[in-house]
Structure 1
Amino acid sequence: MREGISTRETWPFECLHCLRVWEEEYVVLRTRDEHGDDVVVWTRDDAAVQPPWSGMTCPGCGCGIVTTFPIGYLAHHPEITLGRPTPRTPPGETPARGCPAPVTTGLAEPW
């Protein structure tokens, strides 16, 4: 690979299971290979990782149902705080742990 341009990008995430909001910082190297094709390498803590939209899991509950916000979104929305939200569990009930089980219908898949 040839030399390229490295940038730092901070991506905000939200777990759709426990509603935790957090940010991850990436170093992104954009370059071209010897054939002239674009190559993008994402790193975090000096290790190559998948891009932010692929395979992220919640650091709080471990669930993989995670969404991203546009870069810079949280800076324009101070009402959103990072970390674990206040639990909204009714008195006397225990909050769910882990990722919810997939819903099954018992019917055969059409494909």
Structure 2
Amino acid sequence: MQEGFSTYETWPFECLRCLLVWEEEYLVRRLSDGHGNDMVVWTREGTPVQPPWSGMSCPSCGCGSVTTFPTGYLGHHAEIVRRAEPAVPVPFTRVPAESASAASGLPAEA
């Protein structure tokens, strides 16, 4: 039998590239099986997601350099964007060396 409780947590973020500031709300379920094994499940709109400190990308520019603040730290800022849709990781795509050098006008490295 699992015992546990759920809480809503709002996490503020800032992109270190474009300086966008936004908040995301998570439902956090903390579970225990009664034998000393604990588990934490982070969800957004019913979908399990990574914790806020893991793999967050900017919804504006897609940059992965994002920082978080303590809960409630940015509550008095009017410029915060409250996201309605769940965070979706931006897939990493590798550009072939010949395409990158052609686009930059530099010769390809050997």
Match of 1:67 in 2: 67
**Matched residue, 2:17:** 17
The answer (yes or no) to whether the contact 2:3–2:34 under 8 Å persists in 1 is: no
| In the alignment, structure 1 residue 2 sits paired with structure 2 residue 2 | yes
C-alpha distance in 2, partners of 1:45/1:60? 20
In 2: Cα distance, 1:33 partner to 1:16 partner: 40
Give the TM-score of the pair, scaled to structure 1. 0.67
Gaps of 5+ in 1: 84-111
- Confirm or deny that 1:40 pairs with 2:18: no
Matched residues in 2 for 1:36 and 1:3: separation?
11
* Unmatched 5+ stretches in structure 2: 82-110
Amino acid at match of 2:18: C
CA deviations over 1:19-75 (Å, ceiling 9, x no partner): 000000000001113642111000001100000000000000001100000000012
How far apart are residue 10 of structure 1 and its match? 0.5
Runs of 4+ in 1 over 4 A off after TM superposition: none
Q: Secondary structure at the match of 2:61?
A: coil
What is the distance in 2 between the residues matched to 1:25 and 1:59? 15
Looking at secondary structure, tell me which structure has more helix per residue.
2
Matched, 1:82 2:80: yes
Secondary structure at the counterpart of residue 72 of structure 1: coil
Residues in 2 aligned to 1:35 and 1:3: alpha-carbon distance in whole angstroms? 11
CA contact (8 A) 2:8 2:25 kept: yes
Q: TM-score, normalised by structure 2?
A: 0.68
